[in-house]
Amino acid sequence: MRRAGVWLAGLLILGILTSAVGVVYVKYQTRLIFVDLQTLRVQREALDVEWDNLRLEEAALTNTVRVERHAKRHLDMHLPERREVRIIEGGKP
């Protein structure tokens, strides 16, 4: 009977130690994952700022007045006069 008690106490101590090591390991892994999460959040915020800047730049570059001015100055383009416009109606062949 005494031997069984010693074995049972030994198994309980071993179980407690195993459990404690498991808790420490899981806590460590949780901290690593949390650090990764924080890093990804910072990256996402930086990408959001960059995306907003790119959208503003796109809006500025695609402004109709700016495009027309660029076409006139650099490409020697102009709006056609009314007499130069031809309307082609799509019909059945």
Banded model confidence at residue 67, pLDDT cuts 50, 70, 90 = confident
Whole-angstrom distance, CA of residue 1 vs CA of residue 9: 12
pLDDT level of residue 53 (50, 70, 90 thresholds): very high
Whole-angstrom distance, CA of residue 65 vs CA of residue 15 = 76
- Where are the chain's structural domains? 2-76
Judged against a pLDDT cut of 80, whether residue 91 lies above it is answered with: no
pLDDT band at residue 2 under the 50/70/90 scheme: confident
Q: What is the pLDDT of residue 49?
A: 98
Report the alpha-carbon distance of residue 60 to residue 19 in Å, rounded: 61
Most distant CA atoms of the chain, gap in Å: 114
Question: In this model, does residue 36 exceed pLDDT 90?
Answer: yes
